[in-house]
Each structure stands twice: as structure tokens, then as C-alpha cells.
Amino acid sequence: MASQILPLELIDRCIGSRIWVIMKNDREFTGTLLGFDDFVNMVLEDVTEYETTAQGRKKTTLNQTLLNGNNICMLIPGSSGPEDV
Amino acid sequence: MDASSSGIQEPFDLIRLSLSERVFVKLRGDRELTGVLHAYDGHMNLILSDVEETIMIVDQVEGAPEGHATVNVAKRKMEMLFVRGDGVILVSPPSRT
Amino acid sequence: MDDSTPPPPPPAAAEPPPPPTTSGSPTDFLKGVVGKRVVVRLTSGVDYRGILSCLDGYMNIALEQTEEHVNGRVTNRYGDAFIRGNNVLYISAAEPL
């Protein structure tokens, strides 16, 4: 069997870098990844939260934040988020 | 501020200290309860007595801007109630002095 | 029955003073914020601002001097509040760590 990188190993390599987190609903976060656990609860720093509503996109900036892994859908390493693409 | 100053080591201590007291409970589906707390468990299943339930019925008018929804409040009373824990959002005990 | 993902256990009560670093894992973060002002946002979008008393492995939270914010407005105040962990979206430090 060829050597394979585990999904969580990839996330581990992102520690210290910017990461873009897309939730199962209309919410997204970007921030610097400080750490995470087996449930992919994540600690982020210099965070921006993006909330897509009928009225448009709402931005909130946050200090150091523990994000519950329960509602996370996708992680995009090295991205500054929705304004980067 | 230190958690030890309030005598609480874990969140459930807050509930334990509220037994036999009137508590405020916020539930999913825009419901609120006040009642005397008789029992609870690790799921936050609750037994309350002398309960008043408040239900917020929000009617968002089609096409109306946000904040123009009309809110109707319905209240009802129940003598004794079991609350299933998964509906609980928040429990607030009476202020400790 | 609870579909929340528990974070690692919170710091033990009788632990030596936590290291000054606030970086790293969820556990380290939580050690750093207990006793500090935090914002707890629920998946519903409602915010609770207060002092973090303690929390457990299900992200159940006890807050002191809590303000409930809905759409930027204060809608309630609680001396103490127990928040059931399955509703929690994030816990954010409201003051620099």
C-alpha cells in the first residue's frame, strides 16, 4: 500500500497558517489555526466570521476563538477566505 | 474573577444549586419556561412544577423588512412538567446573593 | 442522544496556575479563558456575553453576569446561566488573552 497522508495530518500541517473554515450552514470563518483536537474543534486567532443572509454578507471580527467541530463541513488550508478567491 | 470564588467547578453545579428554586429555562422553538426545579439528569431532562410557559409566535410578513415581524406571545400554566433535555438551550437559576 | 462533539476535559479545579501561553490545543485555550469575558455564539446566531465560570466535556457552559444579544440588541440579563453544549457554535475571548 502506498504511503498516504491522513486527513488530520494535513490539518496538523496548517497550524500557524491561515485557514478557511466552511460550516454546514451559511457560515464561514477564516483565521490563523493555533490547534485542534480529535473532534476537529479548532482554536483560531485573528478570526473573521462571515454570515451569508438574505440581506447580504455580514462580517464579524473575533479574538482567539474555540470553534465547535460539530458543524464544520470543509477546511481550505492557506486561504484567506471568501474574499481571497 | 475566579470560578472558585462562586463555588462552581462544573456547569451542572449551577443546576444542582438551583434545586427547589424557581428557574428560567429557554427552549428550542422560541419557548420559555419558569418553574420550580425538582429534578434533572445529565441530559438536562428536567422536572418542573408550577410552570408558566411562554411561546413567542413570530409572524414574518412576506416581503416586509427585517424587524417588522409581529410577535404574538402565548402563555399557559402547567402543574408538573417533564422537559426533554435535548430541547434545552439555557437554564438560569435565581440570582445567588 | 446528544450529537455534540465533546471538547477535551476542562482543566481540573486543583491544578497549579496555568502556563502563561494561550496558544495551542482547545484544552489550552479553555484553560486560558476560564474566568475571562467571553462571547458564546449559538448555532441559532444568539450571543451570550459574560464571564466564563466553567465548562465540561460536552461544551456545557456556566456563565456569570450574562447578557443575551439578539441582532446586536441586549434581550436579557442573567446572573448565572447554564448553556447546553449542543447549541454552542463557538466560544470567543472578548478580551485579549
Q: Residue A60 sits in a domain of what CATH number? A: 2.30.30.100
Q: Environment class of residue C5 by beta-carbon count within 10 Å: exposed (0-12), middle (13-18) or buried (19+)?
A: buried
Interval A43-71 mean pLDDT: 94
CB distance B92–C79 less than 8 Å?
yes
Residue C55 confidence (pLDDT): 94
- Please report the pLDDT score of residue A75 as a whole number: 95
Q: How far is CA B7 from CA B18, B19, C38, C61, in A?
A: 13, 16, 20, 15
Total-model pTM: 0.84
A16 within some domain? yes
pLDDT at A67: 97
Residue A30 falls within a domain, yes or no? yes
In this prediction, the residues of chain B whose per-residue pLDDT falls under 70 are: 1-6, 62-68, 96-97
Size of interface A-C (CB pairs under 8 A): 78
What's the mean pLDDT in C22-39? 89
Which positions in chain B touch C55 (Cβ < 8 Å)? 10-11
- Indicate whether C10 pLDDT > 70: no
* Section A12-29 average pLDDT: 95
Does residue A56 belong to any structural domain of this protein? yes
Q: Largest alpha-carbon pair distance within chain C?
A: 40
Mean pLDDT check: name the lowest of B23-32, B48-57, C11-20, C65-74.
Answer: C11-20
Q: Which of B30, B52, B48 is nearest to B39 (CA)?
A: B48
Structural domains of chain B, ranges and CATH numbers in brackets: 13-90 (2.30.30.100)
Pick the CATH number of C29-93 from 2.30.30.100, 1.10.3720.10, 2.60.120.10, 1.25.10.10: 2.30.30.100
Q: Report which DSSP code applies to A12.
A: H
Backbone dihedral angles phi then psi of residue B39, each to the nearest 5 degrees: -155, 155
Distance from C-alpha of A78 to C-alpha of A19, rounded to nearest angstrom: 5
pLDDT at C57 over 60: yes
Between A67 and B5, the more confident residue is A67
Task: Please check whether residue B58 is in contact with residue B30, taking contact to mean a CB–CB distance below 8 angstroms.
Answer: yes
The pLDDT value recorded for residue C96 is: 81
> Which residues in chain C touch residue B87, judged by CB atoms under 8 angstroms apart?
none
Instruction: Identify the pLDDT of residue B2.
Output: 42
Neighboring chains of A (3 or more beta-carbon pairs < 8 A): C
| Interchain proximity C92–A66, CB inside 8 Å | yes
Q: Judge whether B61 and B70 are in contact, CB under 8 Å.
A: yes
State the residue range of the domain holding A20.
7-77
Q: Which C residues 46-75 touch A at CB under 8 Å?
A: 59
Say whether B95 and C80 touch across the interface (CB within 8 A): yes
- Is residue A83 assigned to a domain? no
